[in-house]
Structure formats: C-alpha cells, structure tokens
Amino acid sequence: MNGYRVAIVGATGLVGGEFIKVLEERDFPVSTMQLFASDRSAGKKLFYNHREYEVKETSPESFRDVDIALFSAGADISRYFAPIAARSGAVVIDNSAAFRMEEDVPLVVPEINAGDIKKHKGIIANPNCSTIQMVVALNPLHKINPIKRIVVTTFQSVSGTGSAAIDELTIQSKQILGAQNVVPHVYPHQIAFNVLPQIDVFLDNAYTKEEWKMVEETRKIMHDDDILVSATCVRVPVFISHSEAVNVEFTNSISPDDARRILAQAPGVRVLDDPAISLYPHPWMAAGTDDTYVGRIRRDVSASNSLVMWIVADNVRKGAALNAVQIAEELVRHEWLHPGA
Ligand SMILES: NC(=O)c1ccc[n+]([C@@H]2O[C@H](COP(=O)([O-])OP(=O)(O)OC[C@H]3O[C@@H](n4cnc5c(N)ncnc54)[C@H](OP(=O)(O)O)[C@@H]3O)[C@@H](O)[C@H]2O)c1
C-alpha cells in the first residue's frame, strides 16, 4: 500500500482524537497507523478509517517502523520520546511546548513559514494554539504593512487544557445549577460561570507562561524579532474555540476596508464582519471548522496606524491537530521527510 507509516502519541486525548479525524477527512496517505498513549489506555480500541486499532503503551521501541510521528501527550512525554523517535528515523511533529523555541526546531504555521520545515532535524514544533490563530490573521497584513506592536487579550476555551478540563466545566456547571458545592481540580479556581486571568504558571516578569509563548512564538514564526507583543491570556467557560481581542499598530496607516480586503484573500482566513447584522465570529460557530475567523475590524481611536480586531478559531483543530497535519502534508508534498537524503 502506498503512503506513510504514521504514529499518533496521545491518541486517546482530545488532540489525538482530532488527529484521527483530520487525517481521515484530508485523506492523508497513510500506509500503516499506530496509536500510542500511556499504560492506562493500552488495549483500548480506536477507529481510524473504519478500521479498529488497539492502543499501545508508548515505549522507546514504538517508533521503529514510523515515518511521521504526531505527538500530543504533553511536554514531558515529548521531551523523552520525540528524540528517540527522531533517532529511529521518524519525523516528529510535536504539539507540546517542549522544543518550540529551540533554534534547530522549526516552529511552523504552514500558511506563513512552510519553508522552515525543510530545515528540520527530525523534530518540527506546532505552535501554541492562541499564537497560531493570531499569526494566521496578522501575517497577511504584516507582509504589506509591517506590524510594530500587538496587544492581545485571549478568551481561551477549556478544551485547550485537554479532556479533563472539559469534564471539569461540565461537572461544575451541573453542580452550580444544582446548588451544590464546587471543588476545582484542573484550574486553581472554579471555571464554570467564571473567568480566570491565568493560563499556565506565572513567570518572574508577572506574565504567565502562556502569555510569554505568544510573545516569543509570534516573533519566531513571523521571522521578525522587532515585533512587540503584550498578551493577557484568560480562560473562559467555553468548551471549544479560542477568541482574541487584538490591537495592532502598523508602520503605516491602514484602513479597516484595506485590512478586510487583504484578509479576504489570505489562506486559512475568513472575514465575518458586518456589525449591521451582528455578523462577527464567535466560538460556537468556529468549533469543528478549519478557518481562522476575523471580525469587528475597526480603527483603534487611541493610537495612530492601528486597528482593533476579533479573531476566533477552533483551538483543537487549527490550534493543534489541523496545523500539525498541514505540516505533515507539506513534508510529504515537498519530499522533506529526509532533508539532504
Ligand atoms: N487541547 C488543545 O487545544 C491543544 C492545543 C495545542 C496543543 N496542545 C497540546 O497537546 C497535548 C495534548 O493535549 P490534549 O488536549 O489532547 O490533552 P488530553 O486530552 O489530556 O490527552 C492527553 C494524551 O496524552 C496521553 N498521555 C498522558 N500520559 C502519557 C504517557 N505517560 N505516555 C504516553 N501518553 C500519555 C494520554 O493518554 P492516556 O489516555 O493513556 O492518559 C492522552 O492520550 C499537550 O501537550 C497540549 O499542550 C493541546
């Protein structure tokens, strides 16, 4: 059978499940599929393309017959197993933060810097979900009118934390509506009917790690270390899709109409922007779809050469599984699996 030997590490998770769906939907050329997770899930059965596969415990031997390994099992697992997989001859596309800022690891959003993929040394990193949707929407504008400064506030769904957080929001919502007490497990505070201005741990500079990812990753993906970024990342009681309110300062003047025109042509972007009929993107409509949606585009009345906009995308798809599969498609299309071979 023609195709590539694919493995998914973290196949039983939220992103792992979406990997399976996206590979099926996009008819990725798979010759053999192997599904890995922890020992807790070993023996569990999952379907890929109508065929049942048994989930196996991830081990150093798991990658012997693998061309492409899609990792979504957290940074510790990636740190341990991804180099082993790469040494075994697989190209790893990693969803965790483990290698994103390493110099010899491409950090890729295919609509922006697909060319970086060919420099890989066995590991390619998928950026953080909130960064991906922001740069998909901003890079087409940056290419025409360089961006000087971005101030972003995110409204991130609980699916960004994985399946345990989906359960937590469901359970807490029922408990609160049933006038029961809530005990938070996944987040430091109750997430149902609440909003938490903390995603990941706080750093010495008082930003959170998630916020700092948006600063560093944006610069690496857009190949511009001069872009200033300040982010406030907020967890909201939404199941799927992240939303972002973004103020962008450009080098030169740009009108909202110009921005709409540029974004209407941009790959992976859909403009939904007609205030007269309350047309703008929102998490519910973006969930389960591939595009990054942009609306509420307007002049920032507080700064020159600046726009404000609202960006929404499905964090599990474009923010994780879809972006990784698009990287795999580029690898295959350009025959970059074995660079220099
Ligand atoms: N959710 C998102 O929107 C999103 C976006 C971008 C990046 N990511 C990243 O993707 C990764 C997974 O996220 P998720 O949302 O899918 O989380 P999840 O739903 O909690 O799934 C975690 C997966 O990791 C597996 N795993 C845990 N410990 C393991 C071990 N010791 N060995 C092998 N596999 C192990 C789990 O397997 P078991 O079933 O056996 O426990 C499960 O398949 C994280 O690094 C996350 O940061 C997530």
**Domain locations along the chain:** 4-126+320-333, 130-315
Domain 130-315 has CATH 3.30.360.10: yes
The angle, 0 to 180 degrees and rounded to 10, between the axes of the packed helices 14-25 and 322-333 is 50
Ligand 1, atom nearest to 18 Cα:
16
Asked if residue 130 has its Cβ within 6 Å of ligand 1, the reply is no
pLDDT score of 338: 82
Task: Kindly tell me if the per-residue pLDDT of 285 is higher than 70.
Answer: yes
Model pTM above 0.95 = yes
Ligand 1, atom nearest to 73 Cα:
24
Helix/strand/coil for 157:
coil
**H/E segment holding residue 209:** helix 209-222
224-252 tens-digit pLDDT? 999 999 999 999 999 999 999 999 999 99
CATH of domain 4-126+320-333: 3.40.50.720
Asked if residue 74 has its Cβ within 6 Å of ligand 1, the reply is yes
Q: Which of 59, 72, 96 to mutate to test ligand 1, by most ligand atoms within 8 A of the CB atom?
A: 72
HEC sequence for 176-189:
HHCCCCCCCCCCCC
Asked if residue 319 has its Cβ within 6 Å of ligand 1, the reply is yes
43-70 tens-digit pLDDT? 999 999 999 999 999 999 999 999 999 9
- Nearest CA residue ID for atom 17, ligand 1: 162
Strands (E), the chain: 4-9, 30-37, 45-48, 51-54, 56-57, 68-71, 91-94, 123-125, 147-156, 228-235, 242-250, 269-271, 292-299, 306-313
Q: Do the Cβ atoms of 234 and 154 come closer than 8 Å? A: yes
pLDDT score of 339: 60
What average pLDDT does the structure give for the chain? 97
Nearest CA to 263 among 327, 222, 307? 307
